[in-house]
Amino acid sequence: MARWTRPYGTAPPRKTIGASMTHTIVAGLGCWLPPTVVTNADLMAPEMDAFVRRRIGIAQRHRISDGAATVHLATEAGARALASAHAEGVDALILATTTPDRLCPAGAPEVASRLGMTGIAAFDINAGCSGFLYACELAKGLIATGTAASVLVIAAESTSTMVNPADSSTAPIFGDGAGAVVLRAARPGQASTLGPTVWGSDGTLADAIAIPAGGSRHRAASPASDGNDLYLHMRGTEVLRNAVRRMKAAATGAAAAVGWDLSDVDVLIAHQANATITTALAAALPFPLARMPSNIETIGNTAAASVPILLAQAAGDGTVKEGQRLVMVAFGTDPARAGGRGRDGQRGAAPGDGGVRQRPVLGGDHRHLAPGCHSLSVKPPRRPQKARQTSARPTDRPRTVRYVHREAMSPMLRIVIDTLTQKAGLPAAPVTPTATLTQAGVDSMAIAVLAMVLEDDHGVVITETDLSGNSTIADLAALIERHQAANA
């Protein structure tokens, strides 16, 4: 069988569906966070708390209470989006989730009935953390073909139910919540708020983020797993590398599809996976961190709900304003990835739009956003915190660490130090040529970012076994140079 692969970050060929193809605008936004807040101190020891805050960027997350489930979160967010749009109902409802209440039936019809819309078309989709953008693209198709004039898109997740509380690699990361948008057909003369979407998947990474049991392949957990097969398993460093690469391609592809350069984009709404991924993505694009709002510190990773919650909060507190150009990007469990963009409003047309003055990127009455959402602080992600420095006597300082002038460093040594401090987010002070990786604070996430940059930008493949904790930064740079010479 012939194998065909679409290059990452490229849009499929455009097809016009009839002369009366209808455009889509955002009419309303809403989100909902369960009231129970779980802090790091509730889950972990102080040492782990410091690491999670510094490298993952999370201080707390919201959790559903006993008796609540994904459908309840979705209903709350959906009601707020409908109120924002001043709409009593819609023609269709799409629920994006990786944590359905039950394997069967779908949750969307129940959400529709709870919202007083029994009988409308309603269905679930699962595209992991990219689910919201996938669902918006499906909704755009329903509107474009005239199948529906309005669609309520909800992404809702009870991710705390799919992580093992004893697993320190997943339990602190995920939180619960839901976000929603009302999309409707544009009126005559209104340009499209939602533009092209670049999406794709890579089934060769199907096991990178997975719950092994519970489906048709393994209905129950294997006895050897002691029940752990029913919880989320994640290969963190592999996910980090691919998340940055794929979201970079999706963001640049979505902007290019409408003739924008990334410098034209006012705000980039990225999936809130962790702070290190956000920092690395900003450096890889490149794109200013100050224009990438973040709420991961107070909400955690809410999977498919991450993008719409952040969008609703950013609209509610004025971080995202009418007239701005917006790109949304996510990376999911398939791993699916998607990048979509909204058009600007007051500044005139985007290149290639024929001079049409466009609608604002956000419509609706944002005063109806959930109080638990828009009142929370939405701010640019903080760079990982530096450890508090205490005054030490000269005899207490590591004798192996000494200052080396940047001019005396080899090009590769400068690349390694710049990558660790600027792209992996490590504090600059400890990252010196003579410091060991342990002294410099190089952890698995920093290693993953460094390996990605070396492979993508310099064609050098390194493994974790190459990165001994006793090696110095200079030793590491020398090792990379030897790899380069061997492959020359």
> What would the two tokens of residue 316 be?
């509610």
Instruction: Identify whether 317 is part of a domain.
Output: yes
Q: What is the pTM of this model?
A: 0.78
Contact by Cβ (8 Å): 248, 334: no
Q: Which residue has the higher pLDDT, 380 or 311?
A: 311
Query: Are residues 280 and 226 part of one domain?
Result: yes
Residue 431 pLDDT more than 50? yes
Query: Are residues 409 and 367 part of one domain?
Result: no
pLDDT at 192: 66
Strand partners, 154: 95, 180
Strands 92-96 and 121-125, bridge-based pairing:
parallel
How many domains would you assign to the chain?
2
Question: Which three-class secondary structure state does DSSP give residue 184?
Answer: strand
Structural domain that includes position 117: 24-374
DSSP letter, residue 423: I
Query: Are residues 279 and 162 part of one domain?
Result: yes
Which residue in 219, 265, 228, 250 sits closest to 331, CA to CA?
250
Write the CATH number for 473.
Answer: 1.10.1200.10
Question: Which residues participate in catalysis according to the annotation?
Answer: 129, 271, 301
Spatial neighbors of 366 by CB under 8 A, at least 6 apart, are 29, 84, 312, 315, 316, 374
Instruction: Identify whether 271 is part of a domain.
Output: yes
Which residue in 328, 302, 304 sits closest to 315, CA to CA?
328
d(CA 48, CA 61) in angstroms, rounded, equals: 16
Query: Are residues 221 and 89 part of one domain?
Result: yes
Backbone φ, ψ for residue 406 (5° rounding):
-60, -35
Average of per-residue pLDDT across 88-113:
94
Q: Which of 109-123, 180-194, 305-319, 367-381 has the lowest mean pLDDT?
A: 367-381
Residue 347 pLDDT more than 70? no
Length of the chain: 488
Contact by Cβ (8 Å): 6, 198: no
pLDDT at 269: 94
Single residue among 319, 340, 374 that ends a domain in this structure = 374
d(CA 147, CA 139) in angstroms, rounded, equals: 10
Q: Which residue has the higher pLDDT, 446 or 5?
A: 446
